[in-house]
Amino acid sequence: MKSLRFCSSFIPVFLIHTSFASAADSTRVEESTPDTLARSYTLNEIVVTATRLGIASRSAPSGVSVVSREAIDAMPGTLLSSAISWTPGLSLRAYGGGASVQTISLRGMSPEHTLLLIDGQRYNSFQNGLADFGILSSSVVDHVEIVRGGASALYGADAVGGVINVITRAAGEGVHGSASTMVGSNHSSASGFRLEGGEGGLGLRGGLRREQGRGDYEFRFNDGRTETTLTREGEDYSLLTGDVRADWGVSPSLRTTASFTYADGDRGSPGVVTDPSSNGRGRLWDRLEYLRGGIDWDAGGGVSLSLNGSAHYGLEQYDDPGQLLNGTTLHSLYANHDGILTPEVRFNISPALSGLAGVEYARASLQSSETAEAARIQRSAFLSSSHSFLLPSQVPFEIILYPSIRYDTYSDVAGDVSPRLGVNVGLVGDPALRLRASVGKSFRAPVLNDLYWIEGGNPALRPERAISFDAGFRCDMDLLGPLRFEASYFSIDSRDRIVWVPASGTFWSPKNISSVTSRGAEAEAVWTGFDGVLRLTLNATWANVTKTSADFPGDPTQGKKLIYEPAETLNGVAEARMGSVILLIRHSWISYRYTTEINDRFLPAYSLESASARYLLHAFPFKASVKAEVNNIFNTSYQVVALYPMPLRELRVTLEAGL
């Protein structure tokens, strides 16, 4: 009963959501040089966030993936998670199909150790440290930058496993409009429209999208003797997202942007399937209002100033009519408010030296029946720079150093200093070889739930701390077409991990007791051939994530693997672009994952295949596209999280037409 009460209380702690917007062409990053990018930073330019400065991914001091708009459009699925889950080092936990709760983590760390940014601004909930990817649509995403490895020196708390920065689309020139509709398996459908226009430096865009489904997908249930095909019930969903964005180039040196996103989600949450009759009646309801704005001013002389801010309101509710507590049904409500302000100054002292300095002020509050009224003020300062050197020798070297440091203070928990040093060494030649390494401190601050949960919150918690290291290389060559190969070794040693343990009475309380080490490697090869018609991507991640501490003498979980962390993940994507037709086939293989801390139970390995075909029709001024996709082609029966069955084969067709 103890565990039952605890976990029932935590079901609703997850939820937050949104959909957002965006612009640009990620290939430009690959084609730009570090210097040109560093010198020409503007609000709309695509940057890799590894240093908070604009750099090409090849010059980054740690592993970086950039998923372009074109890749997102070609991928099966409508969620942001579908678009990025194939990248190296990334682990997705899905609590079912449809719009079920999903979390993402990097390099063997937990989801709350992965920082999600929207246009460079923190998005993780102050309440629980998580972002629910189950209702994050990819429809307005321009591109996604995934920076692996600790990055608290740049972005503060939670950037332990890495950072995912979602860049939303800006409006283009001219007037455009489009409408789309989608139908798919399990009674899923979606419809939406977008309008945008731009002239004379002013761009406006907006859109509305509704997606729903019954979530009544088929899955296979195995009771140990026989396997039967069942239909999931109670996992219906309805998502409404709307967004508007304005970009205004007041002058060549002054640009502003403002955006507002609204999202509303109503989702069934039937819980675990332990028996053919399992059928919970829980529901999640989310509402999000997210306002973001920024001003960027090129002051001349290599100095630019920017001010970015966001205001975020999230209302999350969990109801279960099947659970009566004190005569009333279970009802949990969380109202989160937070605001973040980040002024920065960037300087390009010379082609070889650039940097930035900034401060960040954030205020968050939480009202909930499950927690004491909670508020937090965060004040931070950061400094980051890049120094490049060309060493004269027979084989010239380019060395780029990336020192950065950040100091975070909080009103209710201890702060921390997070330094980091990265280096990228370029060997000029063919094949182009670059070596990279970084080492730094990262941390995760206790979230408001940890501190203020009525039934056991612990106000004496300290931040979790971690030391990250990675080293790797990238090689660009030509083998019947451009071939990029890169590999990294990484390690993250974290301590003072916050773990909920039994406290007095029948309730649990969080304590700083655990240490975890994640060590592993990532490798990726991307080959483009036949004049860009065919693009093949293969990547692999190996991770050994182990609990190293003994929480008490004889702790049998010491030395065991963390739950849900696969030891090996393989992804392969083949994409063919033949005129107006785009074909994509994707294969993923995930090794077994333990589901208990003592490692006596596990979920078996599984492989998933999906494919899509997209046909583009341009008849000026009209354009249209049709996209057909199939997920789980071979009807694999699998679970990502134990007892949450995933759908068998799903089909989806999307039509889009516009001017």
Find the part of the chain contacting other proteins (CB under 8 A) among 48-56, 86-94, 304-312, 448-456.
448-456
Q: Binding of other proteins at residue 268 (CB under 8 A)?
A: no
Q: Is 281 in the site for other proteins (CB under 8 A)?
A: yes
Cβ proximity to other proteins: between 238 and 544 the closer is 544
Decide: 473 and 486 in contact? Cβ < 8 Å: yes
CA dist 189 and 179 (Å) reads: 14
Pick the stretch among 3-11, 22-30, 235-243, 255-263 that binds other proteins (CB under 8 A): 3-11
- Residues of span 345-404 touching other proteins by CB under 8 A: 372
Q: How far is CA 110 from the centre of its chain?
A: 12
The backbone torsions φ and ψ at residue 450, rounded to the nearest 5 degrees and listed phi first, read: -60, -40
Distance from C-alpha of 445 to C-alpha of 430, rounded to nearest angstrom: 45
Give the residue among 158, 130, 118, 114 at the shortest CA–CA distance from 12: 130
Give the closest residue to 605 by CA, choosing from 617, 613, 616, 594.
594
Report CA Rg, the chain. Answer: 24
Nearer to other proteins, 179 or 483 (CB): 483
Euclidean distance between CA atoms 647 and 102, whole angstroms: 14
- Shortest distance in whole angstroms from residue 446 CB to other proteins: 18
Rounded CA-CA distance 76/610 in Å is: 7
Q: How far is the CB of 196 from other proteins (least distance, A)?
A: 40
Smallest distance, Å, CB 518 to other proteins? 16
**Interaction with other proteins in 470-499: which residues (CB under 8 A)?**
479-480
- C-alpha span between 207 and 177 (Å, rounded): 9
**Should residue 28 be labelled a site residue for other proteins when binding is judged by CB under 8 A?**
no
When binding is defined by CB under 8 A, the residue of 297, 433, 551, 658 that contacts other proteins is: 551
Whether a cis peptide bond, with omega within 30° of 0, leads into 510 is no
Per-residue tokens: 367:
């009202």
Contact flag: residue 322 with other proteins (CB under 8 A)? yes
Q: Residues 323-342: x/- map of binding to other proteins (CB under 8 A)? A: xxxxx--x------------
Q: Which of residues 604-643 bind other proteins (CB under 8 A)?
A: 604-605, 607, 642-643
Write down how long the chain is. 659
Is 220 among the residues that bind other proteins (CB under 8 A)? no
For other proteins, which stretch binds (CB under 8 A), given 98-106, 277-285, 381-389, 466-474? 277-285
Are 583 and 613 a contacting pair, CB within 8 Å? yes
Site for other proteins contains 412 (CB under 8 A): no
Q: Which is nearer to other proteins, 175 or 585 (CB)?
A: 585
Stretch that binds other proteins, among 111-119, 257-265, 275-283, 624-632 (CB under 8 A): 275-283
Q: List the beta strands (DSSP E) in 200-327.
A: 202-213, 218-222, 227-231, 237-251, 254-269, 282-300, 303-325
* Least distance from other proteins to the Cβ atom of residue 591, Å: 4
For residues 347 and 589, which CB has a smaller minimum distance to other proteins in the complex? 589
Q: Please tell me whether residue 35 adopts helix, strand or coil conformation.
A: helix
Whether residue 621 has a cis bond before it, omega within 30° of 0: yes
343 touching other proteins, by CB under 8 A: no
Minimum distance between the CB of residue 4 and other proteins, rounded to whole angstroms? 5
Q: What letter represents residue 621's amino acid?
A: P
Q: Among 78-86, 111-119, 467-475, 500-508, which window interacts with other proteins (CB under 8 A)? A: 500-508
Tell me how far, at minimum, the Cβ of 95 lies from other proteins, in Å.
10
Helix (H) or strand (E) holding 465: strand 464-478
> Which of 174, 505, 532, 621 touches other proteins by CB under 8 A?
505
Contact with other proteins (CB under 8 A) among 477, 555, 615, 649: 555
Q: Pick the closer one to other proteins by CB: 7 or 250.
A: 7
Binding-site member from 174, 396, 459, 502 for other proteins (CB under 8 A) = 502
Kindly state whether residue 108 participates in binding other proteins, applying the rule CB under 8 A.
no
The torsion angles phi and psi of 60, rounded to 5 degrees, stand at -70, 150
> Furthest-apart CA pair in the chain: how many Å?
81
Contact 293, 257 (CB under 8 A): yes
176 binds other proteins (CB under 8 A): no
Nearer to other proteins, 605 or 616 (CB): 605
If you ran DSSP here, which 8-state letter would residue 561 be given? Answer: B
How many positions of this chain bind other proteins (CB under 8 A)? 72
Subset of residues 562 to 601 that bind other proteins, contact rule: CB under 8 A: 566-572, 587, 589, 591-592, 595-598, 600-601
The nearest distance, CB 605 to other proteins, in angstroms, is: 6
Token readout for 501 is 């343990």
In the bound state with other proteins, the residue whose beta carbon lies nearer, of 372 and 624, is 372
Q: Is 3 helix (H, G, I), strand (E, B) or coil?
A: helix
Residues in CB range of 435: below 8 A, 6 or more apart: 424, 425, 427, 471, 472, 473
Across 479-563, where does the E strand assignment appear?
482-502, 508-529, 534-547
Of 183, 208, 254, 272, which one interacts with other proteins (CB under 8 A)? 272
